[in-house]
Amino acid sequence: MTITVRGAEKRYVSRGREVRALDNVDLDIAAGEFVAFVGPSGCGKSTLLNMVAGILPLTGGTIRHDGVAVSGINRAVGYMTQVDSVLPWHTVFENVELPLKFRGVPAAERKSRVDAMLARVNLTGFESSFPAELSGGMRKRVALAQVLVYDPGTLLMDEPFGALDAQLKLLMQAELLAIWQATGKTVVFVTHDLSEAVTLASRVIVFSGRPGRIKAIETVPLAYPRDPFKVRFLPEFEACYAKLWAALAPEIAKGEAV
């Protein structure tokens, strides 16, 4: 198992009030799996990713990654956070180059790897732009290039394509699937978009409303390689989508009633 979550619990205390974000989550993610998290807003999806990345301590339970209990920053993952984490004072090129610099990769190799990665996310020509000069979707692509360039074995992605338009989203999904299949990475992918989850993931985890618990786990019966432009017209896609929606809809309704 690449990621093992046992009895994970997170309570936030802020202004003297306790919020139970995540409650008793058990989850196993195998090496090379592509797992999607869906669930109502505020159910603790980002919280769980933050705990896998070691940014947040758990208040109960354990998380192991590659057999090691996570405590403190987990450098074995690549993490594309929900909020912008691209450094605004570095250019696009410098941002993507950073993880390679940290690893002591020589300059010539850095240049070729960064250039290749920028081409993959369609950002060639923007090397010397600063993030403030880019659109939200372009910044997301910089962040994607930044986590992919150093080739971590596990990718944590929190709504990475939420800010993209429908066409570009499909393109990026195809790109991500290609990279995933070529490299055999483990991917944990949070999304609000159920059809995106079905398109990409081998397994979809549905979370209940706050406090987040695992409500349903669904294996997607679609073979890889998948074409994001076409899979959604398959009958298996529809059946899987309907099952997931049946699990998710009441949770969303519940969330809105509060």
Ligand X SMILES: Nc1ncnc2c1ncn2[C@@H]1O[C@H](COP(=O)(O)OP(=O)(O)OP(=O)(O)O)[C@@H](O)[C@H]1O
Q: Omega into 225 within 30° of 0, i.e. cis?
A: yes
The site partner of 201 among other proteins, ligand X, Mg ion, none (C-beta below 5 to 8 Å per kind) is none
Q: Among 9, 34, 44, 248, indicate the residue that binds ligand X (CB under 6 A).
A: 44
Asked if residue 74 binds other proteins (CB under 8 A), the reply is yes
Q: Please provide residue 188's backbone torsions phi and psi, each rounded to the nearest 5 degrees.
A: -115, 120
Task: Determine, following the binding rule CB under 6 A, whether residue 46 of this chain makes contact with ligand X.
Answer: yes
Q: Give the footprint of ligand X on residues 174-233 (CB under 6 A).
A: 210
User: Among 24-32, 143-151, 225-233, 239-247, which window interacts with other proteins (CB under 8 A)?
Assistant: 143-151
Residues in the chain: 258
The smaller minimum CB distance to other proteins, of residues 30 and 73, is found at 73
What is the Cα–Cα distance from 26 to 205, expressed in whole angstroms?
A: 11
Distance of alpha carbon 175 from alpha carbon 246, whole angstroms: 30
Print the binding letters for residues 127-156 with ligand X: x by CB under 6 A, - otherwise: ------------------------------
Question: Which residues in 19-48 contact Mg ion (CB under 5 A)?
Answer: 46
Q: For 40, phi and psi rounded to 5 degrees?
A: -65, 155
Per the CB < 8 A criterion, the answer to whether 7 and 24 are in contact is yes
Closest CB to other proteins among residues 36, 96: 96
Give the 3-state secondary structure of residue 105. Answer: coil
Decide: is 48 part of the binding site for other proteins (CB under 8 A).
Answer: no
DSSP string, 185-251: -EEEEE-S-HHHHHHH-SEEEEEPSSSB-EEEEEE---PSS--TTTGGGSHHHHHHHHHHHHHHHHH
Residues of this chain that interact with other proteins (CB under 8 A) are 53-55, 73-75, 77-79, 81, 83-85, 87-91, 98-99, 102-103, 122-126, 129-133, 146-147, 150
Residues of this chain that interact with ligand X (CB under 6 A) are 12, 14, 19, 21, 39, 41-47, 82, 210
